[in-house]
Structure 1
Amino acid sequence: YMLHPLFDYQKSNIPAYMQPSLRMEDLEKMVCCLPNLMNQKIIADFLDSKCSQIDATAEDIQKEISLLEDYKKSVITEAVTKGLNPDAEMKDSGVKWLPKIPKHWKVIPSKWLFANSDIRRQTGDEQLTASQKYGIITQKDYTAKENAQIVLATQGLEKWKHVEPNDFIISLRSFQGGLEMSEITGCITWHYVVLKAQKKVYHKYYKWLFKSARYINALQGTCNFIRDGQDLRFSNFALVPLFELPLEEQQQIADYLDSKCSEIDTLIADKKRQLDILADYKKSLIYEYVTGKKEVPVKDF
């Protein structure tokens, strides 16, 4: 390989102002490897072939991830809408979004089961954020996880709503990803709706129900968000009837989904790690061959 100037500013048509962060004297010191044309073609053809194989493998893994994600959605929907007994007798529910339910389940207006809480922020409440990625977490934690810059509110806090564990939050994006259940105490902006159970329930069952594809579709059907540009309100929530089932069964379904979805999530995480490994390998492969650290094997010519 021959060393060759990386950039000839004098022969370039790029004006100086287009390179504000890179000084000309630095450019002039930089060099690159320049193999002859035959070797350039050999390396390029080799990398075309190898990277194509890597990309094909990555695509297969991504398809497996998509299948696992779809399977997870199916598992959740089946469990929260039909229960765990495949032989359970079903009945007409009279509800559009879920026509058939187990015979011993009851249809109940959602506002009878969960009420709109308007308890205001209390002294010591940390500011929370509703995230589909992390659930309900403090804004400080969200900032740390996302490496984002979030300015904590200092005005209008008297309007913020108090949140307690097992409260459900209707956020600006609930029509896309369902409702979030809080596991911590704090306060959240008054733009959101806080729901508190009015009857004894096993909250984690409804946590899974409110994240199911069937329920989200039903929630989306209550309003044309794109056209109207409006927030999701308690009135939308109230338009989607819910189901009441024995507490013991609620817990069984929730425990099953906790375990089953954890297994699926572990598989998905493993697949994503494989994608990361492949991406790193591809970068390393390209770097080693284009810089001459490795030579294309004779058999691959």
Structure 2
Amino acid sequence: MYRYDNYKDSGVEWLGEVPEHWEISSLGKILLPVSEKNHPDLPLLSITRELGVIERDIEDQESNHNFIPDDLSNYKVLKKGQFGMNKMKAWQGSYGVSNFTGIVSPAYYIFNFIKAVNPQFFHWAIRSKVYISFFGSASDGVRIGQWDLSKSRMKSIPFVIPSNDEQTAIAQYLDNKTAKIDRAIELEQQQIELLKERKQIVIQTAVTRGLDPNVSFKDSGVEWLGEVPEHWEVKKLKYVLELSNKKEESRNSNKRYIGMENVESFTGSLNEVILTAEGISNSFFKDEILFGKLRPYLAKSYLAEFDGICSTEFLVYKASKEIYNRFALNIFLSYGFIDTVNSSTYGSKMPRANSEFIANILLAIPPLSEQTAIAHYLDEQTAKIDRAIGIKLAQIDKLKEYKTVLINEVVTGKRRVVLN
């Protein structure tokens, strides 16, 4: 790693030493607040923590939680090359130099540059973790996630400025280097998706075709099952799984509570966090199966390892003597079953599964000994795939950490970019 020849104390604990020839300035000397309105015809922009300024997709309802008024004349103009900021979320890093011209919320801050600073260098530096920390100390508030930035305290936030040539070189270096890191992360994520797809194929095949490829098959007459082993029975879910409707008041219970957020999608696993709750909950007992009826495409199912209570967004099933509960859990996690359930949902924004529809879904039921063998096989196979996914996720975390450290070191002069 290259270092500069000489350093000086910046006088700021979070910045530490900086190259001796770099100027120590402040945002108040670099940025000038501006406010231009009455351009409702311009495209809508958003300012996000992850990407800075982006074009807003007004058709995507999932990503548009904020109300958009019919009259946009009061919205502020944010031009390409200007610095925009969501002042309520500046402490999270919701700001950046814009690559677009459009309009943003009237509550946002817009700035012009009044000092000779390369906008791309400024964007990399100000969005680095070290500078985001300053915005946290300059923000106040009591509402979680909504801390108001003090404009006067923002002006005093320090900012170190290299020479113009160095700014350009640093911006180009980070553009190139982070693009390579992002590509490596993308490749890891693609491999994770392939592993997840492989896992789903393994589960789907096992719960509909069994483990013996040489067995005789028959047409089940059910689209999601296809051909099943000839000796398997095809039965409605309600004949092998009993739906429980037991309720209890959460506040009067000393049992552990499971919310939808506590169950991982497509894994059958429970997160570490088990919360308490108020209101009416569903009761469940050890060895019963929880199936998430809210947004069933998320496949949130869990085989209970203790007695407890859960969100009423779960359907609770007790296995009959004809079905092994771990085999039933894998059916609930199979993509064919999930797709079938999802076809019955009602409600557009928060779709829920129809319990009566689920009760009549046809399942392929092997003999109990075969169910047990299939469940144990899937435990082993999915555990291997989950370990592989875990390794990929750890690699992604390391790449992200490396990217964060690299940016911090370069924009504060701890690492020198060699000029071409």
What is the TM-score of this pair, normalised by structure 2? 0.60
1:32 CA displacement: 2.3
Give CA-to-partner distance per residue, 1:29-51, whole Å, 9 cap, x none: x4322221112222222222221
Q: CA RMSD in A?
A: 3.1
1:292 CA displacement: 1.5
Taking only the aligned residue pairs, the percentage that are identical comes to 26
1:23 CA displacement: 6.5
- Are the counterparts in 1 of residues 294 and 313 from structure 2 also a CA contact under 8 Å? no
Match of 2:338 among 216, 222, 228: 216
Deviates more, 1:123-132 or 1:261-270: 123-132
Secondary structure of 2:33 counterpart: coil
- Are the counterparts in 1 of residues 327 and 371 from structure 2 also a CA contact under 8 Å? yes
Question: What is the correspondence of 1:17-32 to structure 2 with a 5 Å cutoff?
Answer: 21-22=149-150, 24=152, 27-28=155-156, 30-32=157-159
Question: What is the correspondence of 1:44-193 to structure 2 with a 5 Å cutoff?
Answer: 44-121=171-248, 124-130=254-260, 131-133=262-264, 141-143=273-275, 152-153=277-278, 155=279, 157=280, 160-173=281-294, 175-178=296-299, 179-190=301-312, 192-193=314-315
1:59 CA displacement: 1.3
- Are the counterparts in 2 of residues 128 and 136 from structure 1 also a CA contact under 8 Å? no
1:205 CA displacement: 0.8
- Are the counterparts in 2 of residues 177 and 211 from structure 1 also a CA contact under 8 Å? no
- Are the counterparts in 2 of residues 170 and 232 from structure 1 also a CA contact under 8 Å? no
Q: Structure 2: which 5+ runs fail to align? A: 1-20, 36-86, 88-106, 110-138, 140-147
1:147 corresponding residue in structure 2:
none
More helix by share: 1
1:292 corresponding residue in structure 2:
413
Secondary structure of 2:415 counterpart: coil
- Are the counterparts in 1 of residues 289 and 325 from structure 2 also a CA contact under 8 Å? no
1:288 CA displacement: 1.4
Distance 1:198 1:126 in 2: 25
1:5 corresponding residue in structure 2:
25
Structure 1 pair 3–229 and aligned structure 2 pair: CA distance change class (3 A): closer
- Are the counterparts in 1 of residues 257 and 274 from structure 2 also a CA contact under 8 Å? no
2:353 maps to a residue whose letter is: L
Using CA pairs below 8 Å that are at least 6 residues apart, which structure has the higher relative contact order?
1
Distance 1:80 1:37 in 2: 64
- Are the counterparts in 2 of residues 108 and 244 from structure 1 also a CA contact under 8 Å? yes
Q: Structure 1: which 5+ runs fail to align? A: 144-150
1:133 maps to a residue whose letter is: E
1:146 corresponding residue in structure 2:
none
More strand by share: 2
Structure 1 pair 271–87 and aligned structure 2 pair: CA distance change class (3 A): same
1:71 maps to a residue whose letter is: R
- Are the counterparts in 2 of residues 117 and 194 from structure 1 also a CA contact under 8 Å? yes
Question: What is the correspondence of 1:231-270 to structure 2 with a 5 Å cutoff?
Answer: 231-270=352-391
Distance 2:174 2:161 in 1: 17
Structure 1 pair 237–53 and aligned structure 2 pair: CA distance change class (3 A): same
Give CA-to-partner distance per residue, 1:58-86, whole Å, 9 cap, x none: 11111111111111111111111111112
Secondary structure of 2:228 counterpart: strand
1:225 CA displacement: 2.2
- Are the counterparts in 2 of residues 79 and 253 from structure 1 also a CA contact under 8 Å? yes
2:398 maps to a residue whose letter is: I
1:212 maps to a residue whose letter is: S
1:11 CA displacement: 7.0
1:37 corresponding residue in structure 2:
164
Secondary structure of 2:274 counterpart: helix
Structure 1 position 276 matched with structure 2 position 397: yes
- Are the counterparts in 2 of residues 136 and 184 from structure 1 also a CA contact under 8 Å? no
1:94 CA displacement: 1.9
Give the total of aligned pairs.
285
1:195 maps to a residue whose letter is: Y
